[in-house]
Structure 1
Amino acid sequence: MVLETQWVRYGKNKEHIGYMAKMDRANENLPAVLVIQEIWGVDEHIQDITNRFAQAGYLAFAPDLYAKNGERIEELRTERVKEVKVFLDSLPHSAWNNPGERDQALAKLNAEKQDRVTKTFEKMFGGIHSSDYIEELLATTKYIREECPSSNGQGVVSIGFCMGGALSGLLSCRDEQLNGAVIFYGNAPSEDELQNINCPIYGFYGDQDKRITDNVPAFAEQMKQNGKNFDYQIYPQTGHAFFNDTRASYNVVAARDAFQRVLSFFHDCLNQ
């Protein structure tokens, strides 16, 4: 198998950039999978997931939501994000949302590194809201459907992880042409938003990820009451980010099961 991968500039003024992958021998227009990043950006892991969908026969596209006019903004440059990830991975997960624990760990860093980590952490976890990215995602699905030579005129589905999971759900509320959406351990759309959903949604969660998963039954009930199509899996003894094979949280059994379910779901959504 040979993949054709490239970074693509798009948008009215070419202000957006995304990682695109497809099989090099696939010359016909392909249905597309929009892959929405975790909070870590379009890193090696998200590019790998994009490649997996390309190998499954789709045009796969991951917009870099941290880039403006083709370049990452300073606080969210790749090396800065990696630095924060390494710092957080050195702490117990409880410290991620505990300012006191984080500050104790930060105090052990040299002043320059402490300043960089603090500013990037604040930008990633405090200065970004899902609504900030929805217009870029809508521009991305428009590009995939109407302008991309490899997918022009074909259907589009979305999948996202954590922050991207929430965005995948939100996109299903805003894009009337979306064929299907997958949420991996992301917050659900609000009850007001979900009334606008026009496509099936599938959610994947870990039972130990209480902050997210405890809200899933209520979301399912809201979807049912509004006549929406929602299915979900909650995996036992599984935490947040179980699909990310670069993290200690990776659960191979849950990830394997989820991936085959996603492929089946996307096939159904794009062939109705």
Structure 2
Amino acid sequence: MSDDHINSLMPKLDMTRRGFVSAAVLASGYALAVSPASAQAIATDHVGLVTGAVMIPTGGAAMPAYAAMPGGKGPFPTILVVQEIFGVHEHIRDVCRRLAKLGYLAVAPELYFRQGDPSTIAEIPAILSTIVSKVADSQVLADLDATAAWAAANGGDAKRLGITGFCWGGRITWLYAAHNPRLKAAVAWYGKLAGDATTLTPKHPLDLAAQLKAPVLGLYGGADQGIPVDTVEKMRAAAKSAKVPVEIVLYPDMPHAFHADYRPSYREAPAKDGWNRLVNWFRGNDL
């Protein structure tokens, strides 16, 4: 089944209630800034899944998102998938399908939809300056709450909610774990942990360690030039004040984005190990 046409499972569902729409509302393929994709990019099929674009009501607007779920009867435990700076391009959609194959309803909202489309911008600095720098944490957290509410009304189990995110989304994953008391578990992939306080980004994960409301697994690379090892160790120490379990795994000599199989930064061994840890973390926390 393609993202443009929901497979034969789809007519068995309530199309109005689930709100699946044309996948044209989401960027196709990989983001321009990271194209062409590496030949090693993982491609997860749609067999046995219901997948496609959805529109999620939030703050008086309609937010595009990509959802994937098993074809059987729910409700399914739900995983919010938070994008990299490149938006919900093919890699993030594939992660959703991987999670759906494991029995989850996985949904990735386009969290920059008010600010612009990063998939059409060729240079990473331009994405950061024209889009990412304008996105408020408060807006993102509210949009994730709306995504969780949509999932609960469309095949998801409201009592079994998790989140995972990559890079920019890794930082957001930590923030959401400090925000939503109904969250069961979180897995943050190489998310920024510290930074300057601004109007749009007033707090960072290091500031919120004691306020975490759900168990968090953090996955980091020892050679990540954007996240120094000493910052990771500070987070590990700060997390001891949390009232929930926190585990941080630091892969020696691994770069940033080591899970991104469509990019040169991909490292197969830690990516697979991290994914196995993600699965075990979710399952070990009733997801």
Q: For the superposition of Structure 1 and Structure 2, which TM-score range results when normalised by the shorter chain?
A: 0.7 to 0.9
Q: Determine the structure 1 residue equivalent to 2:232.
A: 216
Q: State which of 52, 58, 76 in structure 1 corresponds to 2:117.
A: 76
Q: Determine the structure 1 residue equivalent to 2:186.
A: 181
Q: Is 1:141 matched with 2:148?
A: yes
Q: 1:191 to 1:236 in 2, by over 3 A?
A: closer
**Per-residue deviation at 1:192?**
4.2
In structure 1, what is the Cα distance between the partners aligned to 2:205 and 2:275?
26
Is contact 1:158-1:180 (8 Å) kept? yes
Q: Determine the structure 1 residue equivalent to 2:276.
A: 260
In structure 2, what is the Cα distance between the partners aligned to 1:66 and 1:199?
25
Within-5 A mapping of 1:1-272: 1-11=47-57, 13=60, 15-24=62-71, 26-68=72-114, 73=115, 75-76=116-117, 78-80=119-121, 83-84=122-123, 118=126, 120-145=127-152, 147-148=153-154, 150-188=155-193, 189-212=204-227, 213-270=229-286
Is contact 1:30-1:59 (8 Å) kept? yes
SS of the equivalent of 2:248 reads strand
Q: 1:121 to 1:171 in 2, by over 3 A?
A: closer
The structure that has the greater radius of gyration is 1
Is contact 2:166-2:189 (8 Å) kept? yes
**Per-residue deviation at 1:191?**
4.5
Output the amino acid matched with 2:216: I
Unaligned runs of 5+ in 1: 86-95, 97-117
**Per-residue deviation at 1:16?**
1.7
In structure 2, what is the Cα distance between the partners aligned to 1:192 and 1:240?
22
Is contact 1:8-1:18 (8 Å) kept? yes
Per-residue CA deviation, residues 97-117 of structure 1 (Å, 9 max, x unaligned), is xxxxxxxxxxxxxxxxxxxxx
**Per-residue deviation at 1:22?**
1.1
Is contact 2:174-2:186 (8 Å) kept? yes
Equivalent residues, number: 229
**Per-residue deviation at 1:128?**
3.3
TM normalised by structure 2 equals 0.74
**Per-residue deviation at 1:77?**
5.2
Is contact 1:41-1:64 (8 Å) kept? yes
Per-residue CA deviation, residues 147-195 of structure 1 (Å, 9 max, x unaligned), is 22x1143411000001000001100111010001111000234444233
Is contact 1:166-1:186 (8 Å) kept? yes
In structure 2, what is the Cα distance between the partners aligned to 1:263 and 1:52?
11
Per-residue CA deviation, residues 107-133 of structure 1 (Å, 9 max, x unaligned), is xxxxxxxxxxx4x45224533343441
Per-residue CA deviation, residues 9-52 of structure 1 (Å, 9 max, x unaligned), is 1225452221000122x212100111000000000000011110
Say which structure is richer in helix: 1
TM normalised by structure 1 equals 0.78
In structure 2, what is the Cα distance between the partners aligned to 1:193 and 1:258?
23
Is contact 2:86-2:118 (8 Å) kept? no
Is contact 1:130-1:166 (8 Å) kept? no
Unaligned runs of 5+ in 2: 1-46, 194-203
Is contact 1:130-1:163 (8 Å) kept? no
Is contact 1:39-1:124 (8 Å) kept? no
In structure 1, what is the Cα distance between the partners aligned to 2:120 and 2:226?
29
Q: Determine the structure 2 residue equivalent to 1:93.
A: none
**Per-residue deviation at 1:138?**
1.6
SS of the equivalent of 1:243 reads coil
Output the amino acid matched with 2:144: L
Q: 1:77 to 1:190 in 2, by over 3 A?
A: closer
Percent identical among aligned pairs is 28
Is contact 1:156-1:270 (8 Å) kept? no
